[in-house]
Amino acid sequence: MNIRLDLSPQRRFVLLLVLYAAELAASLWLAYDLRFDFTVDPASTQERYYVLLWLVPLQLILLGLYHQLTSLLGYFSTPDLGRMFHALFISSIIAFVVWIASGEGFAPPRAVIAMDFLFSLIGLTGIRLALRTFQESITVSSKASGRQRRRVGIIGAGDAGAVLAHELSLKPGYGLLPVAFFDDDRRKWNSRVHGVPVLGPPENLLDTMLKLNIQEAIIAMPSAPAKRTGEIVRLLRQARLPCKTVPSLDQLALGQVRVSQLRNVEIQDLLGREKVELETESIRLTLQDRVVMVTGAGGSIGSELCRQIATYRCKHLLLLDRSEPNVFQIEQELIRLDHGDRIIPLVGDILDRARMKEIFEKYRPEVVFHAAAHKHVPMMERQPGEAIQNNSLGTAQLAELAVEFGVARFTLISTDKAINPTSVMGASKRLAEIYVQALAKASPSKTKFMAVRFGNVLGSSGSVIPVFHRQIAEGGPVKVTHPDMTRYFMTIPEASMLVLQSAMQGTGGEIFVLDMGSPVKIVDLARQMIELSGLKPDEDIQIEFTGVRPGEKLFEEVTRKGENFAPTTHAKIFRFLSEPAELAQIRATLENLRANLHLFDANETKMILKRAVPEYEPFLPSDNRNGQPEHQRDQAGTAAEMKKNRADLEPLSNKPNVVPLS
């Protein structure tokens, strides 16, 4: 028989009313029995009936005022317990006042009042917990009917593991039964967490999995170092044991997911990124009760920025994107996260000046995060005019409107490919940086302009991760451009968090560079992803080298010539300063580009862009250098140059070119 408790509001109210009334009457009856040692005299019996007639209705009325008769049956937590406590406590105070005013006969004795309060609170809590447990088990079990619970070992007996074990035990419908914990902390060994034994370090799993019939492992260590996570993944692979992991610490901290929402181990879990600590108070003061606009709101970075900004209770959050499906997707997600009252989805193109001006006039954004951009390097090499138009001219137009309408802060999302660029995409973003710096110099008392550079974002649209996933799913080969190709990687939440932090520190005209950790060889990334799929590189899945594509570097750089840098108050953010161009000069350059954008072929357009960005070394097919521009000279010194770039970001106290900043 399929029993469900998803009742209509009216039936739910009646059910709770009946259950509560019966429990409250039973509590009062028991309190009298205990008070008189189960030999209640006739006078007290009559008094008990009188008290039942007014005290129980009073308690029900107060519980209703505290919204305890309209609660969903599957939900009961600490706030509900608090409200229930207050309702019953007030009823006890009223009963005590009646006792003082009228004496015994109409009001219960003091001992009965105290015992009734205690029994009522315990009884009602028990009813709600029973309803919650029953509702949760039947709701989830309907999805897992006919399945036996798989026996799982949880690796990590900390807070995340404890919450997970409790959830799985409470909700058998998940089909998972925790039978053992494994943890590196010796102090937890030979103890129990929610009744589940802790059997030593994860290495013990190999010895006990057959004895305990463990069928699956769950890694519940969201704050563990990536190196240790990688060791455990290899251990589980050796044991041929399927494994999943809990969500990342960033997702848990932002409240985006619950610990029981398990997922497969992803490559970002193994890349050694440290948890980002934010100065949340400064971000809150900047965003709270303000109108914030995010362009490119439906993209990878833009959508994550929206998720995080919404948690700071801004007045309105403008979701601007020219893709209607992307805007709809992030709008619906934010509504599910209970931010529907402050989001305003807007479909529009940053190149459409009339539309942008309408938006600025109507909504008056005070903080702008400009994430809209063309970012695919090889695609933009074939159509440089589009990259320049969107990334450079579009940014300039948006920045001019920001000044015109008094925007307080304007943050441009840039890229490490803007440093000594060899691609049209990188050069067009560098030109955007030059423009906002010039604008900041020309109007220092108005809008604070800044740019934030970071490297490749794991899992973003067009990144290698989804491409490798598809190639592995198809049986290979996994295509890597060059065995020495390296890139800096960040996770989407990490990049977005640091963008927010940078935006709060800017005083105008700076370029912030995020600490991107150590560079990763793309071929090593491919091998790890193949192994995470349960396959062996070069055996089950082949790796094929296809050659460096037009506009690509073998390695990305950290700083460009002429930029001075200094640390900020955040350990993972550096501030770069350079001499801004004259605004009139850069405006003339942009107008020249605008006028000639689609009049020339790709090579001629790139040369016009090079005159605007002198450090740009374009890929020109007529160079006949096997697809490598001059900047990609003999790369035997790649490792040495990378080491030098990393050394540039070591502690800065001994650097002669540091600009002192107040």
pLDDT over 80 (residue 169): no
Half-sphere exposure in the Cβ direction for 88 (13 Å, CA): 26
> Per the structure block, which two tokens stand in for 460?
């973003």
pLDDT over 70 (residue 479): yes
pLDDT over 90 (residue 349): yes
Query: What local confidence, expressed as pLDDT, does residue 66 receive?
Result: 87
Quick one: CA torsion of 474, 475, 479, 483, rounded to 10 degrees?
150
What mean pLDDT do residues 19-23 have?
91
364 DSSP assignment: -
The CATH number of whichever domain residue 254 belongs to comes to: 3.40.50.720
Residue type, 618: P
Instruction: Kindly calculate the radius of gyration of the chain based on its CA atoms and give it in whole angstroms.
Output: 32
- Alpha-carbon span 565 to 658, nearest angstrom: 6
- 651 occurs within a structural domain: no
User: Are 605 and 566 part of one and the same domain?
Assistant: yes
- Alpha-carbon span 120 to 115, nearest angstrom: 8
- Alpha-carbon span 397 to 488, nearest angstrom: 30
Query: What local confidence, expressed as pLDDT, does residue 3 receive?
Result: 45
Confidence of residue 138 (pLDDT cuts 50, 70, 90): low
Q: How many CB atoms lie under 10 A from the CB of residue 577?
A: 17
Nearest to 434 by CA among 491, 408, 395, 401: 395
pLDDT over 90 (residue 12): no
pLDDT over 70 (residue 507): yes
Strand 478-480 to 367-370 pairing: unpaired
pLDDT over 50 (residue 641): no
User: Are 159 and 95 part of one and the same domain?
Assistant: no
Provide the number of structural domains found in the chain.
Answer: 3
- Alpha-carbon span 363 to 578, nearest angstrom: 34
**Cα–Cα–Cα angle for 433, 438, 443, rounded to 5 degrees:** 125
Query: What local confidence, expressed as pLDDT, does residue 623 receive?
Result: 47
Q: Which of 141, 163, 178 is the last residue of a domain?
A: 141
- 136 occurs within a structural domain: yes
- Alpha-carbon span 285 to 308, nearest angstrom: 14
Asked if omega into 247 is within 30° of 0 (cis), the reply is no
Which residues, in sequence order, are bridge partners of residue 179? none
- 588 occurs within a structural domain: yes
Q: Which domain holds residue 487?
A: 280-632
User: Are 112 and 206 part of one and the same domain?
Assistant: no
Q: Which of 83-97, 167-181, 372-386 has the lowest mean pLDDT?
A: 167-181
For residue 217, the SS3 value is strand
- 366 occurs within a structural domain: yes
Give the residue with greater pLDDT, 379 vs 239. Answer: 379
User: Are 289 and 261 part of one and the same domain?
Assistant: no
pLDDT over 70 (residue 571): no
For residue 512, the SS3 value is strand
Contacts of 222 (CB under 8 A, 6+ apart): 160, 246, 247, 248, 249, 252
> Per the structure block, which two tokens stand in for 393?
């001219």
What mean pLDDT do residues 216-231 have?
80
Between the CA of residue 223 and those of 246, 259, 269, 357, what are the distances in Å?
11, 13, 10, 45
Using a pLDDT cut of 90, give the percent of the chain over it. Answer: 22
pLDDT over 90 (residue 528): no
Give the residue with greater pLDDT, 364 vs 656. Answer: 364
Percentages of the chain per state (helix, strand, coil), in multiples of 5 = 50, 15, 35
Q: Which of 203, 233, 265 is the last residue of a domain?
A: 265
23-48 pLDDT per residue, tens: 999 998 999 888 888 888 888 888 88
User: Are 62 and 182 part of one and the same domain?
Assistant: no
Residues in the chain: 662
pLDDT over 90 (residue 595): no
Confidence of residue 79 (pLDDT cuts 50, 70, 90): confident
| Contact predicate 281/257, CB 8 Å | no
User: Are 230 and 261 part of one and the same domain?
Assistant: yes
Query: What local confidence, expressed as pLDDT, does residue 402 receive?
Result: 93
User: Are 361 and 484 part of one and the same domain?
Assistant: yes
The backbone torsions φ and ψ at residue 557, rounded to the nearest 5 degrees and listed phi first, read: -100, 165
User: Are 79 and 192 part of one and the same domain?
Assistant: no
- Residue listed under structure tokens 């161009």: 581
> Per the structure block, which two tokens stand in for 420?
């000594």
Packing angle of the helix pair 280-287, 492-505 (nearest 10 deg): 70
- 73 occurs within a structural domain: yes
Residues 21-54 as b/e (b if ≥16 CB within 10 A, e otherwise) read eebbeebbebbbeebbeeebeeebeebbeebbee
User: Are 217 and 317 part of one and the same domain?
Assistant: no
Contacts of 114 (CB under 8 A, 6+ apart): 92
Give the residue with greater pLDDT, 356 vs 224. Answer: 356
User: Are 425 and 540 part of one and the same domain?
Assistant: yes
pLDDT over 50 (residue 482): yes
Which residues, in sequence order, are bridge partners of residue 107? 104
The most confident of 210-224, 562-576, 619-633, by mean pLDDT:
210-224
- Alpha-carbon span 296 to 499, nearest angstrom: 15
Q: Which of 107, 141, 175 is the last residue of a domain?
A: 141
For residue 548, the SS3 value is coil
Query: What local confidence, expressed as pLDDT, does residue 405 receive?
Result: 93
pLDDT over 80 (residue 136): no
pLDDT over 80 (residue 222): no
- Alpha-carbon span 351 to 393, nearest angstrom: 8
The backbone torsions φ and ψ at residue 299, rounded to the nearest 5 degrees and listed phi first, read: -80, 180
Strand 196-197 to 486-487 pairing: unpaired
DSSP 595-643: HHTTTS-HHHHHHHHHHHSTT-----GGG-STT--GGG--GGGHHHHHH
DSSP 113-160: HHHHHHHHHHHHHHHHHHHHHHHHHHHHHTTSTTPPPEEEEEE--SHH
356-401 pLDDT per residue, tens: 999 999 999 999 999 999 988 888 888 888 999 999 999 999 999 9
User: Are 557 and 626 part of one and the same domain?
Assistant: yes
- Alpha-carbon span 649 to 185, nearest angstrom: 35
What mean pLDDT do residues 548-573 have?
68
User: Are 185 and 331 part of one and the same domain?
Assistant: no
> Per the structure block, which two tokens stand in for 661?
């900043």
